[in-house]
Amino acid sequence: MKKTIVSSWNEWDPLKHVIVGRADNCCIPAPEPAVDVKIPPDSVMKGKHGRRTQDSIDKANELLDKFVKTLESRGIRVDRPTPLKFDEKIGTPDWKAEHMFGCMPSRDVIITVGKEMLEATMSFRCRWFEYLAYRPLIQKYFMEDPNMKHESAPKPRLTDKDYHKNYLSDEVSIEQRLEWAEKKYFVTTEEEPLFDAADILRFGKDLIVQHGFTTNLKGIDWLKRHFPDHRVHTVNFPGDPYPIHIDATFTPIRPGLILNNPVRKLPKEQRKLFEDNDWEIIEAAQPAHNSPPPLTYYSIWLSMNILVLDPKTVCVEKSEVYQAEQLDKLGMEVLPVDFREAYGFGGSLHCSTTDVYREGDLQDYFPKQQ
């Protein structure tokens, strides 16, 4: 076994050690304040919750295991979380939930910034205890790497005060939701700091954080205080009526180049940081599919939820041929990965992973700032 090193400063340096999730016991979330609103009214998931079928779990695990083999064939060490009994009832003194969610999308729960692994607050009640699936690994890394830091953001109470009640109505139109997104009015209030790790992108000394459904301004302020040696920038994407997690909207693939979802464009006034430092933002290719797989509440734009292995190599879901073609033309070696039938368990290739170690040191990619 190679020496354990915890260190990752960005999204593109050579990946050497990663966590890949599991689908065991995964559930479709029961209705709760932050989850109801995220399911589009016409989704086949509307009104359905509970443990997913064993056949679908087995298929997702098969695809996850094949993904692991692909990564290991490239010399990357892969660890897996320890699934909980996600189909059991949970609660705190403030609320009760019918069941939990799962541990397939590890990117949502933990982020590695430098030598620190940080557990996010999470904004869904069903995901409050999800960090426990990763604790055995984190404790192991803590013992094996004397320079590793393990931090956990303050767990939120997630009372009804954390959510805007008027967001819950099925009668709210997409047009109204887009208007709210333009005004930065989301389902989560500013009652207490909230953030999911998958709303954060690492660019060396700079962290880009999406303000949306799962991360509020207090959460971003907490991150600024927690990482005083980093520059933390808030972004939002008005074209997204359900803004949750940044990695199907804004995807850096190497220094100086970012893919941006063409229907969720970064506003002009927020592009200055990138333009002043000679970063090119290009529109991602169109998805190969017109709709997501059944029982999936994620959008078709999981097509751009890619995993960069190094500045010249990238994993892309194998059916997303247009995204693969675009990256090939950009000079990347594209590794196709069969993953579409696992989407419903928490996303695609980037979602399902958490970096433990990427080679490379801390760099300043945005030296020109006002």
Q: Catalytic residue positions?
A: 196, 245, 351
- Sign of torsion, CA 290 295 301 304? negative
- Residues β-bridged to residue 335: 315
- Sign of torsion, CA 355 359 360 362? positive
Compute φ and ψ for 208, nearest 5 degrees: -105, 125
Q: Which among 191, 181, 183 is positioned nearest to 213, based on CA atoms? A: 181
Question: What is the β-pairing status of strands 257-260 and 250-254?
Answer: antiparallel
Which tokens go with 284?
């991602």
Longest dimension (CA), the chain: 55
Residue type, 253: I
Residue type, 170: D
User: Which residues, other chains included, contact 216 with Cβ-Cβ below 8 Å and sequence gap of 6+?
Assistant: 123, 186, 188, 189, 190, 193, 194, 195
